[in-house]
């Protein structure tokens, strides 16, 4: 989701609205300090106040999402750490989490995995590897519009598995816009071509832990809960689903935006950069992906592998100080805030208390999965999918670990992460959607109808068939508490 623009936030009405929202957030924060909730520990009351504050601020974006994230870390240190400004009661104080552990979430291993992805994506753009590869890969798809759409979606999805889907969408829109300009005015195919990019980026991002932040948040939460899902494990679970939904999305786009245009001429000339720095990057990129794919053979954790390109490319000068300024640090900070909040929720017992408010044994497994995923889709449609994952994943994992619930924490984390990525009905739902919409090639109605259809089809396929496929093919990794 895009950040609010300065122009949008400068108007008087927005300022009044923001002030009202901040007042509501402050009231939400103070409620657990004023009201005693039976069965909730004093530490849990304090974490609940931070949780409610985060819900209001993340839902409304009264302040930037990453600002809320660092505020969360600060408040957790201030109120429930071993250096709390207002000390916890004596019986709880010995178990207080070190303040250093909350600061350490800013360098959590899963953030290093994502940092590596950002560095690779930045260098891919810097040395034009993305555009050159896109042009090379598109050559076999000929000149038929339906097959060009397929090629664009395939390339976009594969790139989004290993690069930021935002960077991928920006790159591929630069590839597709010249194609669109060759079409007759008013040709419906233009909208289909433009929409194929963000939808493929959103779906492709599901395929790997680094494809989109909700995936990384889910993997991190599972690891903290004692379940280690590797890079290759995640890919094997997700790829069958991504392939099926991608094909369905391609067929829907091709049908709804069919055109009288029978042939499209592509400009697919490519010239790879052969400077020493570019070659170092190419090798580093290939080695990193290979190590990710063979984690079971060499035993290096995917987070360790993710830090490898950071070290190599910075040490060799391929990734410069100026390049570092373009890293999406706000995304990393947003994820860190979610990790810290999840840790506080778990340690304080707030998650168990919230889960205990409902008799989940009376709720069927399918209904439970549907509730988790529908809530994730609805929230992610209107707010950042990263913020949604930060809020829902810790609760979903705790619920799955509770007695009487017939899904595993790994399944719960995967369901929530995938659901967040299936929310793609509005321009504000994901950055790739916003990038595509900014071209002016299609209307909001086009995106809303097609995005909702793909999201619903993907949701039904995933909920109904993904677990069956995992069981039949043995794709669910053997994850045991560490």
pLDDT tens column, 159-205: 888 877 777 887 788 778 777 877 888 888 899 999 999 999 999 99
User: Does residue 363 surpass a pLDDT of 70?
Assistant: no
Whether residue 33 lies inside any domain: the answer is yes
Mean pLDDT calculated for residue range 79-97: 82
Residue 81's DSSP bridge partners are 97
pLDDT at 442 over 80: yes
Token pair, residue 354, equals 């919230």
Total domains present in the chain: 2
Indicate whether 361 belongs to any domain.
no
- Mean pLDDT of all residues in 49-64: 86
Reply yes or no on whether the pLDDT at 473 is more than 70: no
What is the pLDDT of the chain when averaged over all its residues?
Answer: 82
Query: Is 212 part of a structural domain of the chain?
Result: yes
The dihedral region occupied by 98, where left means phi > 0, alpha psi between -120 and 50, and beta the remainder, is beta
Max avg pLDDT among 28-32, 342-346, 432-436, 467-471: 28-32
Residue listed under structure tokens 């490519």: 270
| pLDDT mean over 126-151 | 79
What average pLDDT does range 383-395 have in this prediction? Answer: 80
Residue 92 and residue 186 share a domain? no
Is 423 part of a structural domain of the chain? no
Domain boundary, last residue among 47, 80, 104: 104
Last residue of a domain, one of 259, 290, 324: 324
Q: Looking at the structure, do residues 315 and 205 belong to the same domain, yes or no?
A: yes
Percent of the chain beyond pLDDT 90?
Answer: 23
Which of 324, 354, 387 finishes a domain? 324
- Tell how far CA 365 is from the center of its chain: 25
- Averaged pLDDT, 25-34: 94
Domain that includes residue 122, residue range: 109-324
Q: Which long-range contacts (CB under 8 A, 24 or more apart) does 132-140 make?
A: 132/270, 132/271, 132/272, 133/159, 133/270, 134/159, 134/171, 134/172, 134/175, 135/175, 135/267, 135/268, 135/269, 135/270, 136/268, 136/270, 138/175, 138/266, 138/268, 139/266, 139/268
On whether both 6 and 149 belong to a single domain, the answer is no
pTM of whole model > 0.75? no
Residue 444 counted as domain residue:
no
For residues 392 and 371, what is the distance between their CA atoms, to the nearest angstrom? 11
Residue 479 has pLDDT above 60, yes or no: no
CB-based contact 339:102 (threshold 8 Å) = no
How much is the pLDDT for 28? 93
| Percent of the chain scoring above 70 in pLDDT | 90
Ranking 334-343, 386-395, 403-412, 471-480 by mean pLDDT, the lowest is 471-480
Between 186 and 248, the higher pLDDT residue: 248
């Amino acid at each position: 989701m895009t950040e609010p623009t300065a122009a949008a936030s400068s108007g008087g009405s927005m300022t009044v609205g923001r002030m009202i929202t901040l007042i509501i957030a402050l009231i939400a924060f103070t409620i657990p300090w004023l009201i005693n909730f039976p069965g909730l520990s004093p530490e849990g009351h304090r974490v609940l106040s931070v949780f409610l504050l985060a819900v209001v601020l993340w839902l409304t974006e009264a302040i930037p999402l990453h600002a809320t994230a660092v505020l969360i870390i600060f408040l957790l240190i201030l109120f429930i750490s071993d250096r709390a400004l207002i000390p916890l009661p004596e019986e709880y104080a010995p178990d207080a989490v070190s303040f250093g552990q909350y600061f350490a979430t800013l360098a959590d291993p899963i953030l290093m995995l994502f940092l590596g992805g950002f560095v690779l994506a930045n260098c891919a753009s810097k040395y034009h590897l993305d555009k050159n590869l896109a042009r090379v890969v598109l050559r076999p798809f000929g000149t038929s519009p339906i097959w060009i759409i397929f090629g664009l979606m395939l390339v976009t999805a594969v790139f989004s598995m290993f690069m930021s889907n935002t960077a991928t969408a920006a790159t591929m829109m630069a590839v597709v816009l010249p194609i669109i300009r060759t079409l007759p005015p008013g040709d419906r195919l233009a909208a289909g071509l433009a929409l194929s990019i963000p939808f493929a980026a959103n779906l492709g991002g599901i395929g790997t832990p680094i494809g989109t932040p909700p995936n990384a948040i889910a993997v991190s939460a599972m690891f903290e809960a004692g379940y280690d899902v590797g890079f290759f494990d995640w890919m094997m679970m997700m790829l069958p689903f991504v392939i099926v939904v991608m094909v369905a999305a391609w067929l829907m786009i091709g049908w709804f935006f069919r055109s009288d245009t029978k042939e499209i001429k592509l400009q697919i000339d490519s010239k790879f950069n052969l400077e020493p720095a570019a070659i170092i990057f190419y090798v580093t990129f290939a080695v990193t992906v290979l190590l990710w794919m063979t984690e079971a053979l060499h035993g290096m954790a995917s987070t360790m592998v993710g830090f490898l390109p950071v070290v190599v490319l910075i040490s060799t000068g391929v990734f410069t100080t100026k390049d570092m300024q373009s890293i999406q640090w706000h995304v990393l900070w947003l994820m860190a805030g979610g990790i810290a909040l999840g840790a506080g929720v778990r340690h304080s017992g707030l998650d168990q208390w919230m889960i205990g408010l409902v008799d989940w044994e009376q709720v069927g497994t399918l209904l439970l999965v549907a509730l988790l995923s529908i809530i994730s889709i609805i929230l992610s449609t209107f707010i950042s999918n990263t913020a949604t994952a930060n809020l829902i994943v810790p609760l979903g994992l705790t619920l799955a670990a509770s007695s009487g619930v017939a899904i595993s924490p790994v399944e719960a984390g995967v369901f929530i992460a995938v659901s967040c990525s299936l929310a793609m009905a509005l321009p504000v739902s994901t950055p790739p959607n916003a990038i595509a919409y900014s071209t002016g090639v299609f209307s909001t109605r086009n995106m809303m109808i097609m995005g909702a259809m793909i999201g619903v089809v993907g949701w039904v396929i995933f909920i109904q068939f993904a677990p069956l496929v995992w069981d039949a093919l043995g794709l669910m990794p053997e994850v045991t508490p560490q």
